[in-house]
Each structure stands twice: as C-alpha cells, then as structure tokens.
Structure 1
C-alpha cells in the first residue's frame, strides 16, 4: 500500500475496524474510504456493488461483522449466520469484481473445533465439531475463509484471511447482555463498586481459559500483514498466552478497585474449555504482540470511564 492508495475499511465504526482506521491514520495513509452503516448498508448487495464501482478501492480491510458473546449467539443464531454471510459475500465479490488489488478478511478464533488441540494451529480448521454456543457465527466465518480461497484459486484475487483471538480495548461493547466476557466484567465490577454491592456474579465455573489481544495490537498486525503477506493459508493473530476466566475476573476486579466477592453462576454455560492460538506462523512473518494484559485492561477501563454515558442501557 502507498500512502495515497484508496483504502476501504469496512466496519470502521466497530472495535477492530476502528483500531485499523487509527493505525492507518497514524502511519500516514490519507486516502481512506469510510462509510457508516446509515450511508452504506453492507447487507444491500446493490448498494455495495455501486460503492465499489464508484469509489474503486484498491485495498479492503473487511472488519465488518455482526458480533456478540455466548448469550447473543444463543438468542440470535439466524442473524449471526445470515448477516455475516451476506456482508462478507457482498464485499469480497464486489472487491474482486471492481479490481481491488488486495483484501484482508478478519475471521475469528471460534472457527476452530470445540476440542481442537491446544494451542490451536491453523491446520486445526475443519477437523472436528464446533462449539455449539457460537457455531452460527463460526460457520459464517469459515465460509468467508473459503470464499477468499476460492476467489484466489479461480480468479487470482489476492484475498488473505486473518484469524484474531479474543479482542478487547477502546471502542468495545460493554452491554451486559450481548458483550464479550472482558468488557462485561469491566462493567460489572465497576457498577458493583459504585453501588457498593457485596458480590459480583460471573457466568459458569471460571475454569475455561481464554487468550486476549488488545485491539491496537490487532490493528498493527493486520496492517503489517496487508503489506507483508500474500498467500491462501489462514494466519492466526494472537499473543500465544491465555488466562482462566477466574483469574481474569480477579485482574479486572483489582484494576477497577472492587473488593467484594466473586460468585459463580453454575447454571450458565462455560463455552469452549480452552482457546489459545498457535502463533508461530505469525511470528515467523516478523510480528509479535506487545501490549501486556494488565496494562491493556487498565487502559481499556480508563476508556470506559471516559465514555460510560453511552453504556447506560
């Protein structure tokens, strides 16, 4: 990419897309094509095709998706499957059709089987059943990977597929019912601290282990790979270390300054027992994460404090 290349960041209003936008701006890319949902509905095939025909993006970061945690995936399976399939199909097809030089598709660590060997190497894809609580989203993302590979094989389209681990950071969703675990814990502990509640209830046993990547690290990796990687094989993006949900809860409590009890709601699901990315392929390409978890949680909490008025619902 050149500094004046026409670059489309699909989903720039979201967590990952917003971080990619910040990274591009920080590196001096100044011809960024940005559209909010109200200006371009990526589910509308005609509108997407018209946008690509008119604006002719040279590079596309496909970070737009319908996302959420276990609860949201359980409640809205049709939307998680349908909306993600349609969004990625429209964007990938129109990018190829109208001559984009390259596209980076962002998938998810949930593409891997529930009981994949740990840490999860890229070769684990499609080797076993998915985690039922988010299989609809996972199937859509797997379809996106295969679309990128198919368009590369049949049309020679340079589409790469990048699989981030669990993300967090500025711009996250802190809704108590449809957010992911880390922002949900930040909000729960903050509100318990403010209200003086003696306890905070946490879903499940607390024993599952998860890997967390700061979204600014993700953005750095994605922009790096857009400039330095051109192959069909998927690439994991992670830190290569994980933490139990119980330990994560204690880190968040310490960060927020909450000293009450942490109670487990054993009627709620745990999800996948462990999700740790194998990132040797990424390291071999010359990139490693650099933001420590405690530091990242502390900065994310400060961002939450500065923007909490938007999370009243």
Structure 2
C-alpha cells in the first residue's frame, strides 16, 4: 500500500512527465522521494543502476526517464532511441527485480501499437501489426519494457505494470521547432506570431492526421492513482476524449489564445500514422478518468512558455 512515508524512486524527474509526477507527489504529502540527475546516475549504466537500487531499496519505482522527441528527432536518431531507452528499461526493471522491489510503474507511449489503425486502440492490439516506421526505434524499446514488466509480474507475483498515454503536453515540454511534438510546436509558433516574429502559422504535412492529447498533470494523477492499487493489469491505456486533426488543434488553440492568422503547410515527407486514438475502457472501468479541460490546460501551458 502506497503511504505518505513510502520510499519512492522517481526516474526522470527533470522531464516534463517526471517533473509533473514530482510536483504532485509533493503536493499530496509524499516525503520520501528519491531523485537523481543524469550526472548523478546514468541509467544506461547497468552496474551503477543496480548498485543504486541495492543501496537505496525503494518500495516503489516510477520510470519516467527516457530519450524522447518529436517525429523528426525519432527519424534522425532511431538507433539512439532504441538502444538508450532499452537500456534504461532493462537496467531499472531488472535491477528492481534483483533487489526485491515489489512495485514498479513503467511509462510508455501510444506509439507501441500498430500504425494506421482506424478504430480506437485497445491494449490487446499490442504486437498485432506493423509499427509506424517514423518512431519504430522508440516503440520497440517501450515494448521491451512493457513485456519485461508483464513477465516479472506473471512469473514472480510482482506489481510491475505499464501505463500507455496518448500525446502528452504541458509545462516543461520541449519547444524546439525541429525536435518537438506537434502541440508544443503550435504553441511556440503562436508565441512567435504574437511577438510579431512570425506572420503565419506553419504546420508540417497536410494537417489531416488525427491526434489525441492529455495534459501532463492528468497523466501524473493517473500514475499516483494506479500506484495505489495492487494487482494492476500489465498494460493500461491512459487517454482522453480530446481528439482533433492537427489542423483543427491549431484552430482550437488559436481560438483559445485569441490569435487570428492564416494556417499554411510546409511541404515535407515527414509523416506519422494517420490516427492514434486510445480505447480507455479499461482505465475507466478501474476508476480513472482525466479531469482537465483542454482550454484550461492550453492556457496554463502557454502562460509558462
């Protein structure tokens, strides 16, 4: 049972998701949180990761650490995304098993599912089709982590499980226009338009691809909700009802932030899967649902940009 004095190791506390989890843990009165920067602990180093877990013996482990980026970065650094994320998952999950840690949460991504599915994606679709090529390296690493958690729970009666969120956005996101995901890129471009440093809102592709998004504070809430539960299913989708085409996301955000400009499209061969809408029947059945309105989340995020 997760208690206020439970020892919790949060891997990746400086990232967007990890920092949101850390804020929520502190807000709710959890005092015994272990965090380490990349300089203090290289999670791709097996020996150092094992030694750290053995020495500290946390009761709960949250893996929010990962090499992440938008579609272009995924394509350009596919080997890095595969090897670094696999090492992080392997070192922490196996190290936790070796040091007899009972509870572990692994954060993945909706990209682990087959690409170009028109219907909503349920958890049982994993490994039932070909991955979308642009982020295949990242997806394979995350699938490795998912299955490793599943096997350790199945064979050794551990509470190791994975949450698969849709596209996450919020404070602490990456706003580099070459490496970010689509939504923070839209926010950054709107800021440039407001500052008169950009005339039009330029989007990659044709804007027709559909995406589902979740505010990072809601994802953090889901993490704590399921950490408090015992015997979780090995894989749980975390999503929302917020799905638009990328073009319509841009229109919605411009309306929320009171920006009027023309949308133009960059001619590019960089394309992702057409749709990635998650089926959240399981998470709702288990008692969790997102809380933050899209307009509220956009305003909160933009104010901190």
Q: Please state which band the TM-score falls in when normalised by the shorter chain.
A: over 0.9
The C-alpha deviation readout for 1:65-118, integer Å capped at 9, x for no partner, is: 111110000100000000000001000011111121200010100011112352
Conservation of the 8 A alpha-carbon contact between 1:206 and 1:270? no
What secondary structure, in the 3-state scheme, does the structure 2 residue paired with 1:275 have?
coil
* Normalised TM-score (structure 2): 0.96
Residue pair 1:240, 1:279 contacting (<8 A) in 2 also: no
2:83 maps to 82
Equivalences for residues 19-58 of structure 1 within 5 A:
19-58=20-59
What pairs with 1:180-191 in structure 2 (closer than 5 Å)? 180-191=181-192
Larger mean Cα displacement after TM superposition, 229-238 or 271-280 = 229-238
Shift of residue 196 of structure 1?
5.0
Contact 2:208–2:246 (CA under 8 A) maintained in structure 1: yes
Decide whether the 8 Å contact of 2:169 with 2:213 is kept in 1. Answer: yes
Q: Which runs of 5+ in 1 are unaligned?
A: 305-313
Q: Deviations over 1:258-283 (max 9, x none)?
A: 32211012324331111111101100
C-alpha distance in 1, partners of 2:269/2:256? Answer: 25
Aligned Cα root-mean-square deviation (Å):
1.3
1:238 aligned onto 2:239: yes
Q: Show CA shifts across 1:117-137 (max 9, x none).
A: 521111111111111111110
- Which residue pairs with 2:281 in the alignment? 280
What CA distance in whole angstroms lies between the structure 2 residues aligned with 1:67 and 1:161? Answer: 17
For residue 93 of structure 2, what is the aligned residue in structure 1?
92
Counterpart of 2:124 in structure 1 is 123
Cα deviation, residue 192, structure 1: 2.3
Q: What residue is the counterpart of 1:299 in the other structure?
A: 300
2:116 matches 1:132 = no
* 1:229 Cα deviation after fit: 4.6
CA distance in 1, matches of 2:291, 2:268: 37
Shift of the alpha carbon at 1:234?
0.6
The size of the alignment, in residue pairs, is 304
Give the stretch that moved more between structures: 247-256 or 74-83: 247-256
Alignment partners' CA distance in 1, 2:244 and 2:296: 15
